[in-house]
Structure 1
Amino acid sequence: MYKLILPTFLFAANFTVYAGDAPNVVMVLSSHGKLDANGELVQPGYEFDELSKAYRVFKANGLDITFASPAGGKPVADKFDESKPYNQAFLQDTHAVSALSATYKISTLDADEVDAVFVVGGKGPMFDLHQHQPLQTLLANVYEQKGVVSAVCHGPVAFVDVKLSNGQYLVANKRVNGFTNQEEMAFGKKWRPHFDFLLEDKLKERGAQFTQAGLMLKHVEKDGNLITGQNPFSTADAATEVVRSLGLEPVKLEPNKDDKTMAWVAKIMAEGEQAVEAYLQNKQDYDTMLVAMSGIYQLQFAQNDTAVNRAVTLLELTQKEVNHPMLDINLAQGYIKLNKHQQAKAVVEKVVKSHPDNEQAKALLTQLK
């Protein structure tokens, strides 16, 4: 795709789609986020983890990167952990931080100069990106010019009202994914009631073939030059697929610890005990707390005994290291579902002994007697 090359010194403070010979990618962020006078988030914005994970991939592969948002300027992120390595790396990149503080207005971008668009998720996009006309125009034009359009988590909401020149919705009859209804039920309690619709429902309504993996498990879907990732743990792979679709051989990067952890959780949920040894031999490579929390949520949404068994395995593997009554109570509830009442009773008695004021444990022990 033709690119107007201008002197790079003009862009010392910003990335731009108009400089350099490498393929360029526009990373789209929500402008919905808002802080109150005390710096507390009162309106959700974009997901910083997804920004930094995707940025890591694009930068490593030498892409020109542009940050853009509906309002331009500095968008507000949802709360995030600055200590995570990929976030630290972004925050230490002065060029990236400078560009993020002065994002381009989407309305100023020219689709003729764009090779790829990557829409970052977060709850904010559910409020502003799907109804931002300049973004709809940009996505339609880039797509029809054979550029790559992509998004992760809630980011695919930007596609739901995009129509092509033939009058059809962009996602009609396409394989797509995004944050699922099940994931909304598990993790969207605060902002979900304020959404106009659920992403999965709207994509299906627009004629999309919605595909998905299990709860918070990695899943990337590619249908031609349309790429979507299901949740935050799908970000790096979705970004890598963008690089590949631009005709480049992606640089091999060491997976982020949380992504590696969730990939192993997926193996446990698919294979059960066969995947346990990989965890036991390489515990340092995995996030123990993330394994434990995955066990809790997998148990909550398990549809059959096999899923319950595998969720219980996650909890058993982390019980001693986490040493928290919430995990123990969930483990006991898993045992109850599997009719292992004596094991459940032993776990609950231990909780009651160490936390005598835990009403949930006391009620559960009464149930087991």
Structure 2
Amino acid sequence: MFLLARVLLAGLLLAAIAPLHATAPGRILIVVSGEGRDQGKTRPGYEFDELSQAWLIFKANGFAIDIASPQGGAVEADTYNPQEPFNAALLADADAMRVLADTRRTADVKATDYAAIYVVGGKGAMFDLPRDPALRTLLADAYGHGAVIGAVCHGPAALADVRLRDGTPLVQGRTLTGFSNEEEALFGKRWTKEFPWLLEDRLRERGARWQEAPLMMPKVVVDGRLVTGQNPYSTPGVAEAIVGATGRTPVARKPWRDELTMALAAQAREGRAQDVADALAKDTTRYHVDLLGLLGYYQAQAATGDDEVRHALQLMQLAMPYMAQPELKLGAAEAHLRLGERDRARALVQQVLAATPDMAEARALLHRIDG
């Protein structure tokens, strides 16, 4: 009798200290845009890389995974490289492909079924996700029931108009990130004019405490059960942060090439350019060297001060021995010119013209240097 009383008392105490609303501990919902058409050519969709990397990380950490979209059914990603290891792995997963071919409607999903909801980015997310009332309700209910909410790149657009039970915006007073205005200015030109608003502007208007890294550098922000990432290169960090926020310790894994390459870019910004050069010379196959060069090229375009120009130029210089594209040398020449280093700029342009004498862009830049 005494033993039975103790068991009953223990049960009552556990019920008293347990969360009022429990979430399913082993299942994650991934939300993608259903806007895409023709691989993003006639209408933007979701980013396959942001889906595949997160899926693999969630699966490796023991989660069951569902995928939902506003209308349900098949959804189309923007153009992607199927040879990237993370994409190839997902494409080879027959179960994943079946789920992706017939996504659930957000209106048919129960918030209490999931420990976390992860919203994939892509420019399509700016169109159908914010205007989906079922998704807004789902995200609010899931957060209210103790679930983790994560989003990457343009995915935080789905959070912009979510309101909690007391009417306050989900993002109000929360520290977060997403695709920045600076990144939009360089990479969103085709569709930006059709966006209902710019993501950064809208989230700031809703009271979010915005953070961002330099252009296209990975950044993950964790504010309690809200996890956001700035751009596609933030995806692995977001996925692992979501796993951690559910109470699990992410399993160790081998980083992908893009992650290793972005780590090199971060080292260069920290003043460790020689370490980066040594790593590339030792084994370039471990890295996506073109990504390093393009990162420098576009960061130079966005740079507003000499220090940022120098950081960008350094990335281009590190990649140049492994990249034959003349545009990279012209980008570096332009950076030298902005820094007042005309002789270095001229030398690079002359190298380009020696190989491609009719390149109008190179001739125009040489005229500016000597003008």
TM-score, normalised relative to structure 1: 0.90
CA distance in 2, matches of 1:309, 1:325: 20
Task: Quote how far apart the aligned CAs of 1:281 are.
Answer: 3.6
Q: Which SS does the other structure have where 1:27 is aligned?
A: strand
1: CA distance between counterparts of 2:46 and 2:179? 14
Q: Residue type of the partner of 1:310?
A: H
Is the Cα contact below 8 Å between 2:342 and 2:369 reproduced in 1?
yes
The residue type equivalent to 1:27 in the other structure is I
- d(CA) in 1 for partners of 2:330, 2:343: 14
Whether the aligned pair in 2 keeps the contact of 1:269 and 1:307 (CA below 8 Å) is no
Q: Is this contact kept in 1: 2:25–2:115, CA < 8 A?
A: no
- Runs of 4+ that moved beyond 6 A: none
Q: Secondary structure at the match of 1:191?
A: helix
Structure 1 residue aligned with 2:246: 246
Deviation, structure 1 residue 331: 1.0
- Per mean C-alpha deviation after superposition, the further-off stretch among 178-187 and 316-325 is 316-325
1:29 is matched with which residue: 29, 32, 38? 32
The corresponding residue for 1:6 is none
Q: Given that residues 23 and 246 in structure 1 are in contact (C-alpha distance below 8 angstroms), is that contact kept between their aligned partners in structure 2? A: no
**What's the % identity of the aligned pairs?**
40
Q: Give the conservation status (yes or no) of the 8 Å contact 1:218–1:263.
A: no
- Contact 1:123–1:154 under 8 Å retained in 2: yes
Alpha-carbon offset, residue 142 of structure 1: 0.8
Cα RMSD over matched residues? 1.5
- Over alpha carbons, which structure has the higher Rg? 2
Mapped pair 1:133 → 2:133: yes
Taking the aligned partners of 2:369 and 2:76, their CA distance within structure 1 comes to 48
Which of 282-291 and 130-139 deviates more?
A: 282-291
**CA-CA distance at 1:284 after TM superposition:** 2.6
Query: What is the CA-CA distance between 1:146 and the residue it aligns to?
Result: 1.2
Structure 2 partner of 1:318: 319
The separation in 1 between residues aligned to 2:347 and 2:142, in whole angstroms, is 60
CA contact (8 A) 2:40 2:78 kept: no
Aligned residues: 346
Q: Tell me if 1:353 matches 2:354.
A: yes
Structure 2: distance between partners of 1:311 and 1:106: 42
Question: 1:90-109 residue pairs with structure 2 within 5 A?
Answer: 90-109=90-109
Once structures 1 and 2 are overlaid, which stretch shifts more, 116-125 or 40-49? 40-49
Instruction: Give the secondary structure class of the aligned counterpart of 1:42.
Output: coil
- Displacement after TM superposition at 1:278 (Å): 3.8
Contact 1:116 1:242 in 2 (8 A): yes
SS at match of 2:72: coil
User: Per the alignment, do residues 40 and 165 of structure 1 end up closer, same or farther by CA in structure 2, a change over 3 Å counting?
Assistant: closer
Tell me, in whole angstroms, the C-alpha distance in 1 between the residues paired with 2:274 and 2:303: 19
Aligned equivalents of 1:271 and 1:304: distance in 2? 17
Gaps in structure 2 of 5+ consecutive residues = 1-23
Cα shift at 1:267:
2.4
Q: TM-score, normalised by structure 2?
A: 0.90
Match of 2:180 in 1: 180
Name structure 1 gaps, 5 residues minimum.
1-20
CA distance in 2, matches of 1:93, 1:314: 36
Aligned partners of 1:224 and 1:368: how far apart in 2? 52
The match for 1:7 is none
